[in-house]
Structure 1
């Protein structure tokens, strides 16, 4: 987790999606916006990266292959890092998704980069209030 003494460090985002095209485009865009980005294609891989990297934001698709959905990944990530900012993405409305973990933000797919940028900025602002 980032702390105040590391405030000059770039915000590190772990992006999780099984769609290679989405990963490539959004990763590049987030980097262009000044974020440090690491990617995972499956929930299990994301859990490993949460242990290996100092992640500030988990940005994950809800529908993931295998037996670890984005919602379950968010729950496990929250257990590992209680202060982790979590952003979930889905083509379904958030009200139709299984119980979203507390303090998780949501963005509907397809999202525009401006929507994603605004949501991340809101999350960062909320953590500093």
Structure 2
């Protein structure tokens, strides 16, 4: 599926491209994913932890949160997802982890899960779903 294929256009808000908040503590992975999403026409903001992500959310009404479950700091991706859903209940959430779901805290029912390592097309399919 190309970046301009129709499924991703279903996510596009009235004002333009899909707004994605990407929260990942691994610098190389964060840079790679950010580049891929931007190349696909998405507006992307990046953060390395939940605290930084919350600051970004004050001025960036994301449509989709893509976050690692485990990250530095006192809050995890699940905490961040709950914070986002309180202010933007329509936002979608994709949580990723190198640990299998059975080894994680209970994931919210609204969240999609990506097992690391994942393929870029798996992430793109979830964004287009």
Q: Give the structure-1-normalised TM-score.
A: 0.86
RMSD, aligned CA: 1.7
Q: Count matched residues.
A: 119
Whose helix proportion is higher, 1 or 2? 1
| 1:40 corresponding residue in structure 2 | 47
Q: Give the structure-2-normalised TM-score.
A: 0.86
Question: Which one of the candidate residues 115, 120, 127 is aligned to 1:120?
Answer: 127
| 2:75 corresponding residue in structure 1 | 68
**Which ranges in structure 2 are unaligned for 5 or more consecutive residues?**
1-10
String of CA shifts for 1:35-54, please: whole Å, max 9, x gaps: 11110111011111112112
Moved over 6 A (4+): none
| 2:8 corresponding residue in structure 1 | none
**Which ranges in structure 1 are unaligned for 5 or more consecutive residues?**
123-129
Distance 1:54 1:69 in 2: 20
Question: Which one of the candidate residues 26, 42, 53 is aligned to 2:60?
Answer: 53
Q: CA deviation at 1:8?
A: 5.1
